[in-house]
Structure 1
C-alpha cells in the first residue's frame, strides 16, 4: 500500500498500576526513569525512557483512565506525515480521532509536552496513536487543543 504513514519508532506505552504513588517510586527510584509529568488529580504519571522527548511510559492507577482513552501504543512519525495521517486513515476506511475519541480531520496538540497526535483504532478496537514531538516549549496550562488552534495561538502571539 503506497499511502502508508512511515513509523519511525515506538514512542509510548501505557500500564495500569494498583497504586500510583508506589509505582512512581518504583519506576523513578528503582528503574531510574526521569518523571516527565505527574497528574495527581487524574492519577496518571508519564516517564521519559532514555533521553527526554524520545520515548515515554504512561502509568494509570486502576479505574482512573477516562472512558474515551484506553491503554494504547503510540508510534512516532514525522510532522509532515502526521498532517497527512487523517486523510490517509480515512482513505483506508479508518476514522481518525482526537484525544476525546471524537472524529477529527487534524492532529491535536498535547500542550504539556508539547506533541501533536492523531488517534485511531485497529480492527480489534485497540487504540493506536501517531505522535510527533514539537520543538516548542511546554505550555501545560493549555491542555489539549486542535492543531489549528495551536497554530492560531502561535501566530497571534508573535
Structure 2
C-alpha cells in the first residue's frame, strides 16, 4: 500500500464567496464544484482529477473536520485500506464519518475514498480517482452500491 501524492487539502474560510473568487481569479484554480447550500466549494489544482482544494464556511465542514488531508493512492490500495487500518487499530470511516468496511464513492468526481483520524483527530483520507464518467446524480454511496 503506497501513497503516491497529495490529492487534496481543505481550508475553513470566513466568506465562501470571497474565497472562491480569490482562488479562482487570483490564484487561478478552476472551480470544480460549488455547494452553497453546504457552505462548500472545490477547486481543481492542475488538471481535473489531479489534485483539489476544498473551501468550507466556518462550521460547515463534515465530520467536525478540523484539518483535512487526502492522499492519492491506487484504487486497489484504497479498497484494501479498511482492513489495513483495522489491523493497526484505526477505525475506517465513510464519507459521512460512520464506521465502514468499504470505501465511499463520490459520484461527481468520480472517486473512491476511505477516511480515518490521526492521533490528533485530524481527518485523513485515501482517495483514488475512478476511470469513469462523473455521475453527480449518484451522490455519495458505499462502494458496494456504486452501480
Residue 47 of structure 1 aligns with which residue?
43
How far residue 89 of structure 1 moved from its aligned partner, in angstroms, is 0.5
Q: Please provide the CA RMSD for this pair.
A: 1.0
Q: Distance in 1 between matches of 2:21 and 2:85?
A: 39
Is residue 69–residue 101 contact of structure 1 (8 Å, CA) maintained in 2?
no
1:104 pairs, out of 81, 100, 111, with 100
Q: TM-score, normalised by structure 1?
A: 0.89
Q: Distance in 1 between matches of 2:64 and 2:103?
A: 16
List alignment gaps of at least 5 residues for structure 2. none
Q: Distance in 2 between matches of 1:145 and 1:11?
A: 20
The Cα offsets for residues 111-137 of structure 1, whole Å up to 9 and x where unpaired, read as: 110100000011111110000001111
Match runs of 1:70-149 below 5 Å: 70=65, 71-149=67-145
What is the number of residues matched between the two proteins? 146
> 2:37 is paired with a residue of what secondary structure?
coil
Q: TM-score, normalised by structure 2?
A: 0.96
- Spell out structure 1 runs of 4+ moving beyond 3 A: none
The Cα offsets for residues 97-123 of structure 1, whole Å up to 9 and x where unpaired, read as: 101111111111011101000000111
Is residue 69–residue 100 contact of structure 1 (8 Å, CA) maintained in 2?
no
